[in-house]
Structure 1
Amino acid sequence: MSGLLSISLTGLNASQAALNTTSHNISNANLAGYNRQQVVLESAQPMFSGVGFFGQGTEVSTVKRVYSQFLAGQVLAADTSRAEFETYYNQIKQVDNLLADSTAGLSPALDEFFRGVQQVAADPSSVPSRQSMLSNAEALATRFKAMQARIQEVRDGVETQISQVVGQINTLASKVADLNNKIVSAQSAGPNVPANDLMDTRDAIVTELNTLIKVTVTGNTDGTINVFIGSGQPLVMNTDVFSLNTAPSATDQNRVAVGVQLPSGGIVPIPENLLSGGELGGLIKYRSESLDEAQNALGRIALSLATTFNAQHQLGQDLQGTMGGNFFGSLTSTMQNLPNLLTSAPSTASLTTSVVDVGGLTTDDYVMSFDGATYTLSRTSDSGVVYSGATLPTNVDGLSISGTMAAGDRVLIQPTRFAARDISVAIQDTALIAAGSPVRSVAASTNTGTGSVTQPVAESLTGILAPAAAHIATPITLTFDSALNQFNVSGAVPATIAYDPASNAAGTTVTLTNPNLSFAIAGRPANGDTFTIETNVGGTKDGRNANALYAIASAKDLLGGTATLGYAYSQMVSNVGTQTSEAKVNATAQAGLLEQATAEQQGLSGVNLDEEAANLLRYQQAYQACARCIGIAQSLFDDILSVMR
């Protein structure tokens, strides 16, 4: 009887354990990160008798989690990518909304400004037209500043968020290490007593950590886990935490870089391309791939406009007869002395830059370094070298760099980053708008041929004098020599201009080098016909330079001489729009992949209430059957006692 009773008791205890576990599963069915548990039963050691082995019932081996490391890894991979794309999209759509706004964007202000320039070209002496041009210029500068301020606001938010996310990563890493310690203590009773609920809690924290930065998890024999980020940088090793921290970037002191906190207090930076996945990866990727380019592209338009407009404005004369100055305030590259590679102290370099070719300007930032013999100019985005030589570059990506550097010095050069912030209108007096040309051509009244010379245009300030009295030192005369088919030139270089009426009568363009003027000669001049190029005294109604200023709107000066100012802005808007669309599509697609991976994982590890309800009935019936066996054993024992009496 005792055998029947003890066997029934083992079944009763096993059923009770299964019922408890099933009840635990049902209670946690809606708990995120919970993995259903199962009771693992084994047959008890059988007893040998002369006729064979008789079973001794069952025993509970352990309570295990239904868990797949492979499926869990798929969920982590899908989730960290989803978080990265969503973060990227949420950030870039702010800039996309700004640029694409038909009223707040740059295009309306740019069009209105050149419309004002056109009005001055049509009526150079009109004060209202000139005032309108200045007002439109101020509005354009204000629009540049407003857009730059909004983009900078987004940038400041990104820098703040990066620091906050790093703090959250450290907090979660500490929790993982603490749970590692608790799990080791809980499982000290033996290998078959896993701390299932603590492991679920730890996995939930790892999942949350994975949404902040992509992690790789490995397990240890004692139940602890190791967590790695990047290319293998440890974040948690057993119960040790390797905290992250932020510090000014080595290539830009105004942006934060993420690194490993050393016990000594220093920080070892982690390359940005290794910090992928999660919110942190999305923020860093957005900052380097989209935000930098968008802000620099806007600055490139501002810098190109100011440079080309000022250069042309200086070639005209204002209402006072004086050569024009800068219409927009001068814009210079932002310089930042970085730590010297030899001394670690701030560099002492003193550099200046000037734009020599707006078509060569890019959206890159650069670091100029000097090792004592060689100057090296590298892009900050990919460290690509764009110049290396024994002297500072004179024309690289549209820039000329001059100044002094000591051995080991490094300088961050941002040619366009803050140009939109710094652009301003340099003149306030309408009379200072240089709408007229400084020179004019006059045909002698004694000419007998049909030759003509168009009004000359100044190509540069070479040979042009600033004083109001005379813009060229002496009048230039062009006298035609029919015998030699040439114009003899006095007062300029070159001294002769070849011209054959038989082949050039339709018109040919001529350029003088000193002074640097261009004009066209056409027709059939007679021998001795003379044309004079002289200072355009009193040219208040002359709008030739204003026309040249207006032509800047349609000139393809940007992007290697392929784009106008308006097209460059449209391309900027298009690029940001494309990146925004791609980020949205990627985020949506990744959310779908996460849903699929989660469904597969939950199909194995999730709690199915229908299944658990069936288990309740099954284990209840088993419990009742075991109880019935105990009742039978008790009845048989009572029968034996009654016989004895």
Structure 2
Amino acid sequence: MAGLLSISLTGLNAAQAALNTTSHNISNASVTGYTRQQVVQGTADPKFTGVGFFGQGTEISTVKRVYSQFLTAQVLAADTSQVQYETYYNQIKQVDNLLSDTTAGLSPALEEFFRGVQQVAADPSSIPSRQSMLSSSEALATRFQSMQSRFQEIRDGVETQISQSVSDINALAKKIADLNLKIVSAQSAGPNVPANDLLDQRDSIVADLNKQIKATTTTNSDGTINVFIGSGQPLVMGQDVYSLSTAASTTDPTRLSVGVELAGGGVVTIPENLLSGGTLGGLLSYRSDSLDTAQNALGRIAVGLVTEFNAQHALGQDLDGELGGNYFTALTPAMQNLPNLTTGAASTASVSASISDVSGLTTDDYVLSYDGTNYALTRTSDSVSVYSGTTLPAGVDGMTFTGTMSAGDRILVQPTRYAARDIQVAIQDTRLIAAASPVTVSKSTTNSGTGTISQPTVNSLTGILSSASAHLASDITLTFNSTTNQFTVTGALPATIAYDPSSNAAGSSVTLTNPDLTFSISGRPANGDTFTISTNVGGTKDGTNANALYALQSAKDLIGGTATFGYAYSQMVSDVGTKTSSAKINSEAQQGLLDQATAAQQSVSGVNLDEEAANLLRYQQIYQAASKCIGVANTLFQDILNIMG
């Protein structure tokens, strides 16, 4: 009877354990991260008798998680990518909304500005037209500044979120290390007693960590795990945590870099391109790939407009007969000394930069360095050197540098980053708008031919005097000689200009030097016909330079001489729009992959209530049958007692 009773008890206990486990599964069916558990049951070792081996019932080996490491890894990979794309999209959407706004964007203000210039060109002496031009100029500057302010708000928000993400990562790493300790303690009884619920908790925290940053794990023999990020930087090693920290970047103090704290002290900066996945990866990639580029692209338009407009305005003449100065406050690349690579102290470099060619400007930032022999100009976006030589860069990416540096000195160079913030109208007096040309052309009243000379274009201030009464040292005269088919020039070079009325009558372009003027000769001048280029005295109704200023609207001065100011902005809007659309598509596609991976993982590890209900009935029947066996054993035992009594 003892054998029957003990065998029945093993069945009863096994059924009880299975019922408890099934009940546990049902209770946690809605708990995120819970893995279905299962009783592992086997046959007990048989007992030998003289007539053979008799079974001794059943035994429970362990309670295991129905867990697939492969499927779980797929879920984690899809999840960290989806969060990165979603974060990127949520951030870049702000820039897209800013740029594409038909009322708050740059395009309306830019068009209104050039409309004001056009009005002055049409009526140069009109004070109301000049005031309208100044007002539209102020409005344009304000629009640049407001957009820059919004960019800065977005940037500040990104830096705050980066700091918060790093804090969240550290908190999750601490929880993983704490659970490692608990799991080691719980599983100390033996290898076949896994702490299933603690393992689920740890896996859930690893999943949360992957939402912040892509992480990989390895399992140790004691059941603890190690967590790595980036290119293998340790975050958790068993029960030890290597916290992340943020600090001002060594190449740009205005932005945060992420580093890992070492056990012996100190911090190792992790390159941004190695920190992928999750919220942090999305923020870092958005900042470098889109935010920096868009903000610098806006600044490039501001620099291009200011530089070209100032240059042309300086070639004109205002209502008082003075040469035009800067219409806008001049913009120069932002420069910031970085720590010296040799001494670690702040660099003592004294270097200035100027814009030498707006068409060469890019949307990059740079670091200018000097090793004691060679200077190097390196892009911060990809660490590619765009210049290396024994002299400071000149004409590189539209910039020219002058000054002195010591060995180890480094300078952060941001040609366009703050241009939209710093743009300002330099003049307030409407009379100072240089709408006229400083020179004018006339022909002698005794000319008998049909020859004409166009209004000269002033190419530079070479040979142009600043005196309001005389912008030329002397009048320039051109006298035609029909015998030699050439003009004799006095007051400028060249001394003679070849001109054949039979072949050049449709027009021939001429450029003089000292002063630097270009004009066109056309028609059929007669022998002795004379033309005079002189100071434009009292030219208040002349809009020659205003027309040249207005022509800048259609001039392809940016992006290697391929884009106008308006087109550069449209391209900027288009680029951001394309990136926004791509980020949205990637986020949605990755969400689909995540849903598929999660469904596959849950089909194995998730709790199926229908299946658990069936298990309840099955284990209940086993329990009842085992109880019946115990009842039979008890009846037989009582019968024996009755016989013996």
TM-score normalised by L of structure 2? 0.99
Partner residue, 2:123: 123
Contact map agreement 1:247 1:267 (CA 8 A) in 2: no
User: What residue identity is the alignment partner of 1:218?
Assistant: T
Partner residue, 1:275: 275
Partner residue, 2:520: 520
Once the two structures are superposed, the pairs formed by residues 137-536 of structure 1 within 5 Å of their partners are: 137-263=137-263, 265-536=265-536
Partner residue, 2:639: 639
Superposed displacement of residue 483, structure 1:
2.2
In 1, Cα distance between the equivalents of 2:177 and 2:572?
46
Once the two structures are superposed, the pairs formed by residues 569-588 of structure 1 within 5 Å of their partners are: 569-588=569-588
User: What residue identity is the alignment partner of 1:258?
Assistant: V
Contact map agreement 1:340 1:346 (CA 8 A) in 2: yes
User: What residue identity is the alignment partner of 1:408?
Assistant: G
Partner residue, 2:558: 558
Partner residue, 2:630: 630
Superposed displacement of residue 382, structure 1:
0.2
Once the two structures are superposed, the pairs formed by residues 600-639 of structure 1 within 5 Å of their partners are: 600-639=600-639
User: What residue identity is the alignment partner of 1:385?
Assistant: S
1:199-238 CA-to-partner distances (Å, cap 9, x unmatched) read 0001111100100000001111111111110111111011
In 2, Cα distance between the equivalents of 1:264 and 1:413?
35
Q: Does 1:53 align with 2:53?
A: yes
- Residue 335 of structure 1: SS of its match in structure 2? strand
In 2, Cα distance between the equivalents of 1:507 and 1:532?
18
Q: Where in structure 1 are there 5+ consecutive unaligned residues?
A: none
- Residue 162 of structure 1: SS of its match in structure 2? helix
Q: Please say which of residues 360-369 and 482-491 is displaced more in the overlay.
A: 482-491
Runs of 4+ in structure 1 deviating by more than 6 angstroms, as ranges, are: none
In 2, Cα distance between the equivalents of 1:474 and 1:266?
72
1:403-432 CA-to-partner distances (Å, cap 9, x unmatched) read 111111110100000000000000000000
Superposed displacement of residue 488, structure 1:
1.2
User: What residue identity is the alignment partner of 2:330?
Assistant: S
Partner residue, 1:100: 100
Q: Please say which of residues 218-227 and 602-611 is displaced more in the overlay.
A: 218-227
Q: Where in structure 2 are there 5+ consecutive unaligned residues?
A: none
User: What residue identity is the alignment partner of 1:375?
Assistant: Y
Partner residue, 1:44: 44
In 2, Cα distance between the equivalents of 1:112 and 1:50?
110
Superposed displacement of residue 339, structure 1:
0.9
User: What residue identity is the alignment partner of 2:15?
Assistant: S
User: What residue identity is the alignment partner of 2:489?
Assistant: V
In 2, Cα distance between the equivalents of 1:631 and 1:365?
86
Q: Provide the aligned C-alpha RMSD in A.
A: 0.8
Superposed displacement of residue 262, structure 1:
3.1
In 1, Cα distance between the equivalents of 2:411 and 2:498?
51
Superposed displacement of residue 266, structure 1:
2.8
1:277-308 CA-to-partner distances (Å, cap 9, x unmatched) read 00000000000000000000000000100000
Partner residue, 2:33: 33
Contact map agreement 2:242 2:263 (CA 8 A) in 1: no
1:583-609 CA-to-partner distances (Å, cap 9, x unmatched) read 000111111110000000000000000
User: What residue identity is the alignment partner of 1:435?
Assistant: A
TM-score normalised by L of structure 1? 0.99
Partner residue, 2:80: 80
- Residue 424 of structure 1: SS of its match in structure 2? coil
Superposed displacement of residue 616, structure 1:
0.3
Superposed displacement of residue 394, structure 1:
1.5
In 1, Cα distance between the equivalents of 2:568 and 2:340?
37
- Residue 394 of structure 2: SS of its match in structure 1? coil
1:56-109 CA-to-partner distances (Å, cap 9, x unmatched) read 001111000010110000000000001100100000000100000000000000
In 1, Cα distance between the equivalents of 2:615 and 2:621?
10
Question: Measured at CA, do residues 264 and 424 of structure 1 come closer, stay the same or move farther in structure 2, by a change above 3 Å?
Answer: farther
Q: Please say which of residues 268-277 and 446-455 is displaced more in the overlay.
A: 446-455
- Number of equivalenced pairs: 645
Contact map agreement 2:319 2:433 (CA 8 A) in 1: yes
Partner residue, 1:112: 112
In 2, Cα distance between the equivalents of 1:267 and 1:411?
23
User: What residue identity is the alignment partner of 2:187?
Assistant: Q
Question: Measured at CA, do residues 580 and 12 of structure 1 come closer, stay the same or move farther in structure 2, by a change above 3 Å?
Answer: same
Contact map agreement 1:512 1:518 (CA 8 A) in 2: yes
In 1, Cα distance between the equivalents of 2:364 and 2:337?
17
User: What residue identity is the alignment partner of 1:280?
Assistant: L
Partner residue, 1:16: 16
Superposed displacement of residue 642, structure 1:
1.7
- Residue 167 of structure 1: SS of its match in structure 2? helix
Question: Measured at CA, do residues 194 and 263 of structure 1 come closer, stay the same or move farther in structure 2, by a change above 3 Å?
Answer: closer
